[in-house]
């Protein structure tokens, strides 16, 4: 097990760095962490400590941590890290370079090129793309995060009251620690949702 810990240390250290930034409870240029995913995918070990049920498709490198399970019908397309004590599926769709920390639950939802910190839940019919999800977040059923402008232009993000060009054509949202989003919440691309926020069912977060 010590060998496994050494292999995943760069990813664990990255989670710690992101977590410390979120713990400051300040707005920041979160997309810079998303930008790092292309380099981090090279450091994802292709090793499965947890359990993969039948009828799971994996196309890419997969690290699956201790006591984690990927349930039947899940499709993984890309290089994906899943920490310990996670439940993925049934029928989840994970793609791009996606990093999922420990104690997360993701069911029949789509996660693309995103970072999800410890203890969050994305259980039913949600879409999370090019986003950073903090610790202990719950996305109500049907939550959707936009990640593309209609005109295809770069996504601009409001950081401390100033519009900042992310330089990215595709960018979702930063959802801070301990946020609870009601069912069918829609989140606009480039949105920062502060830690401990809540949304009503059907709310559009501009």
Contacts of 28 (CB under 8 A, 6+ apart): 21, 159
Tens digit of each residue's pLDDT (9 = 90 or more) over 70-116: 999 999 999 999 999 999 999 999 999 999 999 999 999 999 999 99
Whether residue 1 has pLDDT greater than 80: no
Q: What pLDDT score was predicted for residue 4? A: 86
Tens digit of each residue's pLDDT (9 = 90 or more) over 145-189: 999 999 999 999 999 999 999 999 999 999 999 999 999 999 999
- CA torsion angle 111 114 116 122 (round to 10): -20
Q: What's the rounded mean pLDDT across residues 137-151?
A: 97
Q: If we measure between CA atoms, which residue out of 14, 12, 7 comes closest to residue 37?
A: 14
The CATH label, of 3.40.50.300, 2.60.40.10, 2.160.10.10, 1.10.10.10, for the domain at 2-205 is 2.160.10.10
Q: Beta strand 162-165 with 156-159: parallel, antiparallel or unpaired?
A: antiparallel
Whether residue 54 has pLDDT greater than 90: yes
Q: What pLDDT score was predicted for residue 196? A: 97
Hey, where are the domains in the chain?
2-205
Contact 112/129 with Cβ under 8 angstroms?
yes
Of residues 25 and 139, the one with the higher pLDDT is 139
C-alpha angle 195-136-78 in degrees, rounded to nearest 5: 105
Q: Which strands form 80-82's sheet, in the order they lie side by side?
A: 47-48, 62-64, 80-82, 98-100, 115-116, 132-133, 174-175, 192-193
What is the pLDDT confidence band of residue 120, given thresholds at 50, 70 and 90?
A: very high
How far is the first Cα of the chain from the last one, in angstroms, to the nearest whole number? Answer: 45
Q: Which two tokens stand for residue 119?
A: 């203890």
Q: Which helix (H) or strand (E) holds 111?
A: strand 105-112
Q: What's the rounded mean pLDDT across residues 42-57?
A: 97
Residue spans of alpha helices (H) in the chain: 2-23, 31-35, 37-40
Q: What pLDDT score was predicted for residue 3? A: 86
Q: What pLDDT score was predicted for residue 2? A: 64
Q: Over the chain, what is the mean pLDDT?
A: 96
Which is the catalytic residue, given 7, 124, 169, 180?
Answer: 124
Active site (annotated) includes residue 124: yes
pTM of the model: 0.96
Contacts of 125 (CB under 8 A, 6+ apart): 108, 109, 141, 142
Burial label for 147, CB within 10 Å (0-12, 13-18, 19+), is buried
Tens digit of each residue's pLDDT (9 = 90 or more) over 186-205: 999 999 999 999 999 999 99
């Amino acid at each position: 097990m010590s060998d496994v810990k050494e292999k995943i240390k760069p990813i664990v250290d990255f989670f710690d760095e992101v977590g410390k930034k979120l713990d400051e409870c300040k707005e920041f240029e979160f997309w810079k962490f998303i930008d790092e995913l292309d380099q981090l995918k090279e450091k994802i070990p292709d090793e499965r400590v947890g359990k993969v049920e039948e009828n799971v498709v994996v196309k890419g490198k997969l690290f699956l941590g201790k006591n984690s399970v990927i349930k039947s019908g899940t499709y993984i397309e890309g290089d994906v890290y899943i920490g310990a004590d996670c439940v993925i599926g049934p029928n989840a769709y994970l793609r791009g370079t996606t990093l999922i920390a420990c104690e997360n639950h993701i069911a029949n939802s789509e996660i693309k090129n995103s970072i999800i910190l410890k203890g969050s839940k994305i259980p039913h019919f949600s879409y999370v793309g090019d986003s950073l999800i903090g610790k202990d977040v719950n996305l109500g059923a049907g939550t959707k995060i936009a990640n593309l402008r209609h005109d295809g232009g770069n996504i601009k993000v409001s950081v401390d009251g100033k519009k900042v060009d992310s330089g990215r054509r595709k960018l979702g949202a930063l959802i801070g620690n301990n946020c609870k989003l009601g069912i069918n919440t829609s989140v606009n691309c480039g949105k920062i949702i502060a830690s401990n926020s809540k949304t009503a069912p059907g709310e559009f977060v501009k």
